[in-house]
Amino acid sequence: MPELKKKIKFIIDRFSMIYEFWCDYCNYRRWNYNNPKVVTRAAQESKMLRQTHMIEKGMSLSEPRKGFGQQKIAVLFEMMDQYLKMGYPSDGMPFQDAIIVLNAYVDMQKGLGYENAAMVEKLKTYDTYRIDGLTAGIKYDTRANLMSNIDKPFPEFFYSRHSMRQFESKSINIEDVEKAIKIAQKAPTACNRQASKVYLYKDKATNDALGELIAGNTGFQQEVPNYLVVTADVSAFYDTFERNQVYVEAGLFSMALVEALHYYGIGSCILQNGEYYKKNKKFKEICKNIPENERIILFVATGYYKNEFSYAMSLRKNVEDVFIVK
* Res. 230: pLDDT tops 70: yes
* Res. 313: pLDDT tops 70: yes
Give the integer Cα–Cα distance in Å for 284 and 296: 9
- pLDDT, residue 206, reads 96
Widest pairwise Cα distance in the chain: 81
Taking the C-alpha atoms of 242, 248, 252 and 258 in order, what is their torsion angle to the nearest 10 degrees?
Answer: 140
Burial class of residue 58 in the structure, from the number of CB atoms within 10 Å of its CB (0-12 exposed, 13-18 middle, 19+ buried): buried
- pLDDT, residue 102, reads 97
Mean residue pLDDT of the chain comes to 94
If you ran DSSP here, which 8-state letter would residue 140 be given? Answer: E
Tell me the pLDDT tens digit for each residue of 173-216.
999 999 999 999 999 999 999 999 999 999 999 999 999 999 88
Label residue 114 by pLDDT band (50, 70, 90).
very high
Beta strands at 226-233 and 196-200: parallel, antiparallel or unpaired = antiparallel
Tell me the pLDDT tens digit for each residue of 274-286.
778 999 999 999 9
* Beta-carbon count within 10 A of 266 CB: 25
Nearest CA among 88, 106, 62 for reference residue 308: 62
Tell me the pLDDT tens digit for each residue of 51-92.
999 999 999 999 999 999 999 999 999 999 999 999 999 999
* Res. 244: pLDDT tops 90: yes
Give the integer Cα–Cα distance in Å for 69 and 170: 30
Q: What fold does the segment set 142-310 form as a domain?
A: NADH Oxidase (3.40.109)
Average pLDDT, integer, range 94-106: 96
* Pair 219, 61: CB distance under 8 Å: yes
H-state helical runs in the chain: 2-31, 41-59, 70-85, 93-111, 117-124, 143-147, 154-159, 174-184, 204-213, 245-263, 277-287, 319-322
- From the CA atom positions of the chain, what is the Rg in Å? 22
- pLDDT, residue 250, reads 97
If you ran DSSP here, which 8-state letter would residue 201 be given? Answer: -
Tell me the pLDDT tens digit for each residue of 5-24.
888 888 888 999 999 999 99
Tell me the pLDDT tens digit for each residue of 251-261.
999 999 999 99
Tell me the pLDDT tens digit for each residue of 136-185.
889 999 999 999 999 999 999 999 999 999 999 998 999 999 999 999 99
CA angle at 60 for the pair 57 and 66, rounded to the nearest 5°: 90
Half-sphere exposure of 14 (CA within 13 A, CB side): 6
Average pLDDT, integer, range 297-312: 96
Label residue 126 by pLDDT band (50, 70, 90).
very high
* Res. 2: pLDDT tops 90: no
* Pair 190, 245: CB distance under 8 Å: yes
Domain ranges of the chain: 41-135, 142-310
* Res. 1: pLDDT tops 70: no
Proportion of the chain above pLDDT 70, given as a percent:
100
For residue 228, give Cα distances in angstroms to 224, 225, 258, 286: 11, 10, 10, 13
* Pair 304, 265: CB distance under 8 Å: yes
pTM across the whole model: 0.92
Taking the C-alpha atoms of 148, 150, 151 and 152 in order, what is their torsion angle to the nearest 10 degrees?
Answer: 80
